[in-house]
Structure 1
């Protein structure tokens, strides 16, 4: 008799848990996005998700004549089309534009996490083999359209960031920084890439970025975490969730800053040459947490990942604990909102888009998968003051929208963002397979 009673109690408990999960899933936002952006976002209690909220936009592409919507006073047109998952952009000294046509290395894995990743990759077009190619785009006649589109460097391994230093073009593959000689005006490089340094590749955050440091001799290189919160142990995160400083002459690197779950866009703010980055924060704490962010980064900074977020809030899911770190976890400078997936970053040093966009940061938000309703899927602008910091009380300003339609379908998703030689903004769209050009005069 007692066994039957225990069995019934067990079934009731299981039923109660199932009802609770059903009623609380998917987790919906309880704060307006504006409340979770800026220098002082509203950090609410976490709502840990046993079942992740999985909501992303089905990709539908762009029909002929369709474009994203630019802010008032600006206009949008296609700079280049027919690309293969374009992710990152780099402007050469002569004005030519390099685009990394790239994708995640093939992934495997079982369980809920593996299913979620495969589901998401299929939805965003990232579950197909990488082109592993850098393509050169040239607008020789200055009409805002690239009439030259030609393979520039091939045989790479999920490449992303690019940077010129000392007559060498550096390319950040997923697992190694490589370089090739470059002469201004070249349209094709056939030299075999030389490996500079190796670092951990692949993982949930596979793309790497690289920029020249303010000293003009070293490079900053971003390496994202392999998992959400060190789910596979801290050993799997060695030299990850960090910005590395690379010494190309000696082919060595050091960890410049750590506890940064996934930094992609990096740039030096004009006037001060201070390093800034945009960072994707953790998932599965609810639709209001944790805000992705824009922040200055200095040598020795630790931003708390995986143990802490937003300057000392504890993530109780992480084991083993690290209580001594809490007081040292640096608070980011500016919140961009939860789950927006901030990737691209460029400052408006030579942008010519009017006074509203004359000083500040352009940021591409690739779009959420772990939030209801969706967030991101646009390019925003954060205004800066003359001293090189976000304007006090300022909120992000929409620059390029329309990637989502009213049915939450994605025409495209923005990634890399740079300015072209004329001062227009170029935005890589890896779902729409297009580079969009935003210029003044709309």
Structure 2
């Protein structure tokens, strides 16, 4: 079943046209917001967004990635430019808080410390609001399985006060797994939690079998959800990207199994024995079109004017129709977007709908590619883009 954009939208995007209702259609708690064209303040661009939305570029940043908010309102943004940025309300000015090698993709504050996840290490520095830092203030808390391929490391502070980290396997079919007898460097593909109960902090598997999970978000009942980037060797249409409910111990199958048309299918690109059988694979909560590259993820508070439970950022990949290679017509590439997800009462099934589109034109040219997303206590949504008009953006609804 396709999600139908309201008639007031003059351009039906390829992403919306290809969007299928995932898994189970759930009753909407509110009508979908009518969409309209919105001028993006601070740029010459326009986007399609819910009626009453206001979007503005707040500040330019160099290749920004994930965003976190501290308890005191300070914002931290990692980047591919070896920089961790700090911003304070109204978030229209950014400081280079610290420069760190090895891709500081994400940073979070916990108490009087700032933690940064690079590709191969979790780093910590003593920190208080407004403090200045340099690279020498950081020390390694725990090594992270590093290496090439998917090299982003997403850090999240759980409601239990523990640190959670997501990381992907190296490629489409890499024999890597969070658990079993796999060597440390091959313990990739899922979410880990830092065990600090012993003399030395150590990573423990939390959920496994995810090719490249990037966005992490916590529901108010303490359940973790994760976005996952699926493989690209199946072509342009399969498998669909997945949003999962990452309850501890869950196995999502990859790279040995893929979720195809509502069923678990064996992926013959890897011939090693899977660590768990197909019957152990947990179905996703919702799906997005293949090659959409889901990134940031955030829950919205109850009653938020956008009328959805989650925002999932789609970065858009380089794949083109019909084969999925990069050599086809750029106009067929999946569009970057901010998507909304409405969950059913128990949070196991979701309905997906477009919230903000228009980052890509009819010829496939992209003026921005959103990555990170977070919601502030005043219902304001902030998101980053790491290509084109790079920087931090603000989305509000209403006066």
More helix by share: 1
Among 256, 259, 277, which residue is 2:226 paired with?
A: 277
Instruction: Identify which of 383, 387, 390 aligns with 1:433.
Output: 390
Give, in angstroms, the shift of residue 169 of structure 1.
1.3
Is 1:66 aligned to residue 45 of structure 2? yes
Q: TM-score if structure 1 supplies the norm length? A: 0.73
Among 77, 80, 86, the alignment partner of 2:56 is: 77
Q: CA deviation at 1:194?
A: 1.5
Are the equivalent residues in 2 in contact too, given 1:340–1:368 (CA < 8 A)? yes
Q: Which moved more, 1:272-281 or 1:302-311?
A: 302-311
After superposition, give the CA deviation of every residue in 1:115-140 in whole Å (9 maximum; x if it has no partner). xxxxxxxxxxxxxxxx211111223x
Alpha-carbon separation, structure 2, partners of 1:434 and 1:302: 35
Structure 1 residue 183: deviation in Å?
0.9
Aligned equivalent of 2:310: 361
Matched, 1:38 2:22: yes
Structure 2 counterparts to residues 18-167 of structure 1, below 5 A: 33-35=18-20, 37-39=21-23, 64-81=43-60, 83-102=61-80, 131-139=81-89, 142=90, 146=92, 148-167=93-112
Q: 2:334 aligns with which of 375, 382, 385?
A: 375
Larger relative contact order, structure 1 or 2 (CA cutoff 8 Å, min sep 6) = 1
Q: Give the C-alpha shift of residue 321 in structure 1.
A: 4.2
**Structure-2 separation of matches of 1:297 and 1:247:** 18
Alignment CA distance shift 1:355-1:430 (3 Å): closer
1:168 to 113, 121, 124: 113
Give, in angstroms, the shift of residue 324 of structure 1.
Answer: 5.8
Cα displacement (A) at 1:40: 5.4
Aligned-residue RMSD, C-alpha: 2.7
Alignment check: 8 A CA contact 2:66 2:77 kept: yes
Partner of 1:222: 166
- Following superposition, the deviation at residue 229 of structure 1 comes to 1.1
1:161 Cα deviation from its structure 2 partner? 2.0
Question: Which residue of structure 2 lines up, in the alignment, with residue 19 of structure 1?
Answer: none
Displacement of 1:100: 1.3
Which structure has more strand as a fraction of its residues?
2
Q: Count the aligned residue pairs.
A: 349
| Partner of residue 213, structure 1 | 158
Higher Rg of the two aligned structures: 1
* Consecutive aligned runs of 4 or more in structure 1 exceeding 6 Å deviation: 231-237
Q: What stretches of structure 2 of length at least 5 have no aligned partner?
A: 1-13, 26-40, 322-331
Q: Quick check: 2:176–2:187 contact (8 Å CA) kept in 1?
A: no
Unaligned runs of 5+ in 1: 1-28, 42-61, 103-130
Instruction: Give the match for residue 245 of structure 1.
Output: 193
TM-score, normalising length: structure 2 = 0.80
Give the structure 1 partner of residue 274 of structure 2. Answer: 322
